[in-house]
Amino acid sequence: MEFRLINAADTEEVKWLWSYCFEQEGHPFFNWFFSEYYRPENVLGGYDQGRLATCIHIIPYEIFLREKPLPVAFLVGLATVPGSRGGGAAGKLLQAALSEARGRGQYASILIPRRNGFYRPFGWELCYHHYRYNIAATDLVHVAKRHGVFRRLDMVDEWSALASVYEAFVAGRHGYALRRAANWRSLLAAHLAEKGFIYVLEDEGRPKGYILYHRGENILTVTEMAYADGRAQQALFYFLYQHRYQTERIEWNAPLDDGIHFALPNPKKEVWLHPFMAGRIVDVAALLTAVSYPPGAAGRTVLCIEDGLADWNNGYFTLEVAAGQGQVTRAAEVKADVYCSVGALAQLVFGRLSARELAAAGRLTASSQGLALLDQFFPPRVNYINEYF
């Protein structure tokens, strides 16, 4: 099978594959995606005897990782024609996608796994979880308080009203997407194309919160909710509470440092941990050199990394950290301080799991000194991301 970026002439085959595997042609999201968002130069295809058999969209993103804005590859829409499934085509495509991402200077990759078990053997591990709430609308009375003025938005060019709130919301969190004007326009355009609603909370004329949602039969589903402070969060819940005569339930996702569940009357049945997004390192040496390290962290350790998909990540690396910067070189040692897979290293660098948690799970082996240094270099963080395409 040959892997390469598709030609514009292959677009109809790409659309057919998407329609077969995801939203069908004619669906509002499908129409918006292929008329406004789709770029052939971001689609990698696998060709069997000249025919497109599998493809994936490599969307360029920036995320805030270890105090640095870093370019990453957001992999979307992996699809394979039925006749080519079961023969390893998807795995080979993912391998080719890593090579393409490395050539683009993208340090890591993120994706939303439909089935986590499919992607784990290829080195993608869960790095983001949300709290998912699905509660009776009437129960919002416990967390709601009226405040401010709500204004409906129906134009994508009004994105700047949301941007300042988003920046306040993600401040202090980790792994979030850096949204530029194009990202905001795409987010709002896709939401409006699917008949979603957008409201901004204003306090003395300044945006303090916003909410994107869809109304369904007996449920209101929030796509994104952000607030600048606790008072704005209460006001957003008051806004949702006012829908209690139109809908029975309200559903939304929240970061892992969210504490609303402590105030709800029935959280055991209405709140759960939702695995959301997986991460993977594209280039170990490049990423460990690019990120920042905590003040005071210093030392040298040798890592032995196992990567079954990207051979440039296999082997021994010396990581030396001083003054917040890391230097990485290929090591000739036959003995390392730390042994782990590229997936475990991703969860460590992304901050989802600590070195000690990975060691306790048997997914990382380290000397006591190596473990202590990893604790210094990569303390756990509260990750949050809410991108879908």
Do 135 and 269 lie in a common domain? Answer: yes
Amino acid identity for residue 112 in this structure: I
Residue 119 counted as domain residue: no
Q: How far is CA 289 from CA 23, 70, 124, in A?
A: 40, 12, 20
Question: Whole-model pTM above 0.85?
Answer: yes
Residue 315, exposed/middle/buried by CB under 10 A (0-12, 13-18, 19+)? Answer: middle
Do 267 and 139 lie in a common domain? Answer: yes
Q: Which of 273, 304, 330 is the last residue of a domain?
A: 273
Residue 124 counted as domain residue: no
Do 174 and 201 lie in a common domain? Answer: yes
pLDDT at site 273: 98
pLDDT at site 334: 79
Do 156 and 185 lie in a common domain? Answer: yes
Output the six-digit token pair for 110.
């993120």
Query: For residues 317 and 165, is the Cβ–Cβ distance under 8 A?
Result: no
Residue 387 counted as domain residue: no
Whichever domain contains 339, its CATH number is 3.30.1050.10
pLDDT at site 190: 98
Phi, psi of 326 (to 5 degrees): -115, 140
Domain count, the chain: 3
* Dist. CA 67–CA 57, nearest whole Å: 27
Do 158 and 263 lie in a common domain? Answer: yes
Do 182 and 257 lie in a common domain? Answer: yes
Q: Which of 253, 273, 293 is the last residue of a domain?
A: 273
Do 268 and 298 lie in a common domain? Answer: no
Residue 386 counted as domain residue: no
Residue 118 counted as domain residue: no
Do 296 and 361 lie in a common domain? Answer: yes
Domain that holds residue 239: 131-273
pLDDT at site 23: 97
Residue 14 counted as domain residue: yes
- For residue 344, the surrounding DSSP H or E stretch is helix 342-350
pLDDT at site 333: 75
Angle at Cα 363 formed by Cα 358 and Cα 366, nearest 5°? 75
Residue 353, exposed/middle/buried by CB under 10 A (0-12, 13-18, 19+)? Answer: buried
pLDDT at site 143: 98
Do 362 and 343 lie in a common domain? Answer: yes
Do 136 and 258 lie in a common domain? Answer: yes
| Sequential pLDDT tens for the chain (389 residues) | 999 999 999 999 999 999 999 999 999 999 999 999 999 999 999 999 999 999 999 999 999 999 999 999 999 999 999 999 999 999 999 999 999 999 999 999 999 999 999 999 999 999 999 999 999 999 999 999 999 999 999 999 999 999 999 999 999 999 999 999 999 999 999 999 999 999 999 999 999 999 999 999 999 999 999 999 999 999 999 999 999 999 999 999 999 999 999 999 999 999 999 999 999 999 999 999 999 999 999 999 999 999 999 999 999 999 999 999 999 999 987 799 999 999 999 999 999 999 999 999 999 999 999 999 999 999 999 999 999 99
Query: For residues 133 and 271, is the Cβ–Cβ distance under 8 A?
Result: yes
| Number of C-beta neighbours around residue 80 at 10 A | 21
Whichever domain contains 264, its CATH number is 3.40.630.30
Query: For residues 175 and 349, is the Cβ–Cβ distance under 8 A?
Result: no
pLDDT at site 332: 86
